[in-house]
Amino acid sequence: MSHAERKATPSRREFLDASLSGGIGAASLVSACSAGVSMVRGVCHHDCPDACAWLVTTRNGKLVKLEGDRNHPITRGTLCGKMDQYLTDVVSNPDRLLYPLRRVGPKGEGRFERVSWDQALDDVAARFRRIIQEDGATAILPYSYGGTEGVVQSGSIASRFFARLGATRLVRSVCGDAGSAGVTATMGTTTGILPEDIVHSRFVLIWGANPALTGPHSWAFIEEARRRGARIVTVDPQRTASASKSDYHVQPIPGTDAALALGMMRVIVDEGLHDAAYVDQYTLGFDKLRASLAEYPLERVAAITGLKPEEIRRLARDYAGARPSTIRLLIGMEHRAHGAMAFRTIACLPALTGAWRELGGGLSYVTDSLFALDYAAVMRPDLENQTIRSVNMVQLGRALTDPNLKPPIRAMVVWDSNPATIAPNQNLVLKGLRRDDLFTVVLEQFMTDTARHADYVFPAAAQVEVLDLLISWGQNYLALNRPATPPAGEAVANTEFFRRLARRLDLKDSYLYDSDEQIARAALKSDHVYLKGITYERLAADGWAPLNLPKPWLPFAKGNFPTPSGKCEFYAQGLIAKGLDPLPRHEAPKGSADYPLMLLTSKASGNFLNSSHVGVARAVKAEGEPRLRMHPADAGPRKIRDGEMVRVHNAYGSMLVRAQISDACRAGIVTMTHGWWASLMPGKASANALTSDGLSDLGEGGDFHDTRVEVAKA
């Protein structure tokens, strides 16, 4: 694959800124299967690598069944436990929001009255006009993220609308950007091997990921690799579902992943296990890297990581000695002040061992850079004034409460996100949301903690009710979602909400009124070879299509890295200008005498997807009560027993939660599941009441996994 073939596509952040049985085809919206029964093709919208294709059955216009597409190579007929009851959990849930609501009580109390669309839009438009007249459009802030991953519904019309207004720009970098920046610094791209090719691997190293739970369809390929003789090893501070199913588990101290990778490199180079020919031909800076490895003898790396020297040596030998081998990365370890450097360092390993030479060898991370759609036609970056200020979504609380921000944020529009739950430094975020002078509009399906603070809540359509085009950041199939039923009640698609608001503001620009189909078709008008033959008509008939990638997919077997040098850069000159070491290195996370325990909030739920579905009674019941996992060595001195209510606290805030004493995590670490709404927690505060809102070394991601806490009996 040439550099030209990999021509610029948006990062995950840029994309979000803008942005029943198989075998039944349909050239029209639905295909009649029998009298009154129809099937419609679609795809899951959630922030998940699997991007499952599905089919919806309707009978006499009513939704009766949702199931995975059996013919889709990733989905293979099954949906995960988060989505297999989507029709009842979300679409027909009696708690779903179906009409516009206006707040009648204090912010956060959740008291609203039903109003008409005309009443609500008239008031919103009047408020916006007044704000723009008094302070300019930069006093308005859009806030969205991964509530839907669709090209059309995530941000197309919304992106154009806020650019047209001249609103403050949002940096959408909370997830994925730090890791992607680190991997790109080494490889020039985030895309490595395809998930289906993992079956050819003979050693799969899962690092900072838990695909057995968070990507069950991709996990199936790892299991197939095992059946063919591969060994599976997981590196994670916790004993996750993936770690429990692995051949062995390596548990480093959180934040020491770069040191572990450097220790592995030291063993590999010292013992001559590296691929000297590959390194010589296709990498840059090996001599400098080898010299720097003198700083990482096994004894020092063991002390840093909390591992035994023999554990590090074994892992290095097993990884370098297996052909082909792959490293499976996801986002688990990126949310740190030095998260990007950790990803950069790990990304060096496949080039050092020459793993890229063979099918099933290399690095498996994210695949979104392969989808070379015409994003410019969707997002219209030409409309955006780059001189207008920006706010990082990680630091929302700061933006809403900064007395020196001129003009202040006076209005916020939220869709596809729940910042009261997902944003770090939760208490500061809530302080901002509770401002009497902040006018907040939320587009939602349920009364989330963010919606409870809104002045107006508008009802959002469900995935089976909208048209959308979806890429995947975990595989290589493009899919079209067709609406199987009209939106329930008075709900509307995201795009339609912003069209209506634009009309109410009397905006005449035609690009604000493109239809969803027009946007999807525009995205597909790309001349990139990977999209050749993938038309709107084909997707409408078949539902999905694989990208036209070379077969076998061996992107870096002969180098051709899209870096400045064209090689895998052990020494990355470009990092110097960013204030970083051009060589991989370990930076120690900050400690604290007052708060000695590390807090990790992980995606360990089989029922929630980030903060989605937390408002669904069935999912909450299935999940059970939130728990804080503590190692016995930490619980003992604090006289905390299993099942007791505890207070977790630091300088940012405190929360109440029940303790679960377990050796699944290392001593010195406490963990809990990410996504719980504060309104459902005992003390009305969730884990993000404790998390920091600093930024990572690259990519402007968050540093919230560097959070330290103390735990005491409640």
Token representation of residue 563: 């870096």
Peptide bond into 552 cis (omega under 30): yes
Residue 255 located in a structural domain: yes
Residue 545 located in a structural domain: no
Name residues whose C-beta falls within 8 Å of residue 170's C-beta, 6 or more positions apart in sequence. 17, 141, 142, 143, 144, 390, 391, 393
Residue 227 located in a structural domain: yes
State residue 605's pLDDT score: 83
10 Å CB burial of residue 639 (0-12, 13-18, 19+) is exposed
Asked if residue 376 has pLDDT above 80, the reply is yes
Rg (CA), the chain: 25
| DSSP run (H or E) holding 632 | helix 632-635
Q: What's the pLDDT tens digit per position in 460-495?
A: 999 999 999 999 999 999 999 999 999 999 999 999
Say if residue 708 is in the same domain as residue 564: no
- 603 confidence band (pLDDT: 50, 70, 90): confident
pTM for the whole structure: 0.94
State residue 35's pLDDT score: 65
Asked if residue 528 has pLDDT above 90, the reply is yes
Say if residue 337 is in the same domain as residue 413: no
Asked if residue 2 has pLDDT above 80, the reply is no
Q: What's the pLDDT tens digit per position in 158-172?
A: 999 999 999 999 999
Say if residue 344 is in the same domain as residue 378: no
State residue 3's pLDDT score: 35
Say if residue 204 is in the same domain as residue 307: yes
Q: How many structural domains are present in the chain? A: 3
**Residue 561, Cα to own-chain centre: how many angstroms?**
25
CA distance 41 to 426: 39
* Residue 339 structural domain: 192-365+558-578
Say if residue 339 is in the same domain as residue 377: no
Q: Which of 574, 576, 572, 580 is nearest to 697 (CA)?
A: 580
CATH code: domain of residue 213: 3.40.228.10
| DSSP run (H or E) holding 305 | helix 298-305
Which residues on neighbouring strands pair with residue 56, listed in sequence order?
A: 40, 66
Q: Are 174 and 445 in contact (CB under 8 A)?
A: no
Q: Is 710 helix (H, G, I), strand (E, B) or coil?
A: strand
Q: What's the pLDDT tens digit per position in 213-223?
A: 999 999 999 99
Say if residue 633 is in the same domain as residue 570: no
Residue 429 located in a structural domain: yes
CATH code: domain of residue 638: 2.40.40.20
Long-range contacts of 218-223 (CB under 8 A, 24+ apart): 218/49, 218/50, 218/74, 218/474, 218/475, 220/76, 221/195, 221/196, 222/198, 222/328
CA distance 106 to 315: 56
Say if residue 154 is in the same domain as residue 290: no
Say if residue 360 is in the same domain as residue 387: no
Say if residue 572 is in the same domain as residue 656: no
Residue 552 located in a structural domain: no
- Average pLDDT of the chain, as a whole number: 94
Say if residue 357 is in the same domain as residue 388: no
CATH code: domain of residue 155: 3.40.50.740
Beta strands in 293-410 (DSSP E): 325-329, 362-364, 390-392
CA distance 78 to 217: 8
Q: What's the pLDDT tens digit per position in 534-573?
A: 999 999 999 999 999 999 999 999 999 999 999 999 999 9
Q: What's the pLDDT tens digit per position in 212-265?
A: 999 999 999 999 999 999 999 999 999 999 999 999 999 999 999 999 999 999
Asked if residue 31 has pLDDT above 90, the reply is no
Residue 299 located in a structural domain: yes
Asked if residue 65 has pLDDT above 60, the reply is yes
Residue 178 located in a structural domain: no
Residue 143 region, left (φ>0) first, then alpha (ψ -120 to 50), else beta? beta
Residue 184 located in a structural domain: no
Peptide bond into 94 cis (omega under 30): no
State residue 331's pLDDT score: 86
State residue 304's pLDDT score: 98
Q: Are 548 and 529 in contact (CB under 8 A)?
A: yes
- 624 confidence band (pLDDT: 50, 70, 90): very high
Say if residue 377 is in the same domain as residue 402: yes
Say if residue 330 is in the same domain as residue 380: no
